[in-house]
Amino acid sequence: MDLIYFVLSCYGMTQILIYGSIFNSIRPDKKTLNGFFHCPMCIGFWVGAFLFGINGFTELFTFKYNLVNLFILGCLGSGTSYVLDVVFNDCGIKIDGGKNYDYGTMDDSGSSTL
């Protein structure tokens, strides 16, 4: 159950940070920091790391404090936040087959541009 609570907490906090209107005034636009604050995978990692850091103050989930758990839970938060963001939106399950998803483009240097 700890992982389910952790994953749902990561997803919820990531959605609030990326899409919540309460942060519109302080959230940078997509051009700043290469879209970092609009990327569920990027923010999901740091949300996972943050939740790992505060897990001693909650009874929802408990993990031992070490660097391996920090990295693994950050990756878990990143991956699940991204997958859940791709699958769900405000209207429910996305079933458009990816037609409305902004995949970005790759330039010659191999870096992604949004």
The model's pLDDT over 19-67, given as tens digits with 9 standing for 90+, comes to: 989 988 888 888 777 788 888 999 999 999 999 999 999 999 999 999 9
Least confident piece of the model among 7-16, 25-34, 56-65, 94-103: 94-103
pLDDT surpasses 80 at 113: no
Which of the pair, 83 or 112, is modelled with greater confidence? 83
In terms of pTM, does the model score above 0.75? Answer: yes
User: Would you call 7 exposed, middle or buried from its count of C-beta atoms within 10 A (0-12, 13-18, 19+)?
Assistant: buried
Q: Which of 65, 46, 58 is nearest to 2 (CA)?
A: 58
